[in-house]
Amino acid sequence: MKTMIKFKLWHVLTLILLITGNLSLIALPALAQTASLSLSPASGTFNQGCTFSVEIKVDTGGNQTDGTDAILFYDPTRFTATDIRNGTVYQSYPQSNIFDSEGKIAIAGVASVSLPFQGVGTLATIDFKVTDTAPTGVSQIKFDFDPNDKEKTSDSNIVDRATTSDILSKVSSGSYTVGTGACSKAVKPVGGVTDTDKVAPTLPQSGAFENTLALAVVGSVLILIGILGLLLL
């Protein structure tokens, strides 16, 4: 009888190890590609001849990153980009260019060897002016991003430090309305880092990783309870 119990317990432990091992493999990919770029504000109404500012937000999805490229397109008949103010999430910004005749902005931030960026922060802040003769209506400022081509280097991307691969999985562009009338007082956001921008590998990851990990733990516990229940029969 004791031999039978030991035999069953050995199989239970083996099964638990296999289950937890497989669940960890399931949870890890959830972290790998959750990085995103977005614009803040994502919408608003700005009148002809008036100025406004837009922040490019980067969220690494918990990954440590070596750099980020953000390529934006806008309608030059409606907007003129007047200035780019780099954030401080990366130590170097080798590219901060405005191609106004094309309606294009290219920004690249690069981390130092010893200090990768991990977290949520402002890559850069762009100042725009609505042209005096801008057609009224809605116009987009959008990221150049191809989610189906991870080898493409001419669009927006976020480079993972561990794998040197592009982990950008989502972009959220902005939609802005051109109106007429007096200009409201412009408040320029200041680019920089937030508390979560500091590299802290020991902190729990956020977003999809937390949800996947929680489901994995709950599933393992339920399976373990079921197996132990069978042993006690």
E-strand ranges in the chain read 35-40, 43-47, 51-59, 65-73, 79-86, 92-99, 104-110, 120-130, 137-143, 157-160, 168-172, 174-179
Sequence-separated (6 or more) residues with CB below 8 Å from residue 132: 48, 49
Q: Which pLDDT tens digit goes with each residue over 155-195?
A: 999 999 988 899 999 999 999 999 999 998 755 554 444 43
Q: 9-16: long-range contacts (C-beta < 8 A, 24 or more apart)?
A: 9/231, 12/227, 12/228, 12/231, 15/227, 16/220, 16/223, 16/224, 16/227
Residue type, 187: V
**Residue 186 gets which letter from DSSP?**
P
Exposure class string for 217-233: b at 16+ Cβ within 10 A, else e: eeeeeeeeeebeeeeee
| Domain 35-202 coded CATH 3.40.640.10 | no
Write down the domain spans for the chain: 1-12+23-34+207-233, 35-202
Range 51-59 average pLDDT: 98
The percent of residues above 70 in pLDDT, for the chain, comes to 65
- Check residues 138 and 33 and name the one with the higher pLDDT: 138
Residue 59 phi/psi, 5-degree rounding, is: -125, 115
pTM above 0.75, yes or no: no
The predicted structure's pLDDT at residue 22 = 46
Q: Which pLDDT tens digit goes with each residue over 108-153?
A: 999 999 999 999 999 999 999 999 999 999 999 999 999 888 788 8
At residue 5, does pLDDT exceed 60?
no
Distance CA(197)–CA(74), nearest Å, equals 28
Range 77-94 average pLDDT: 98
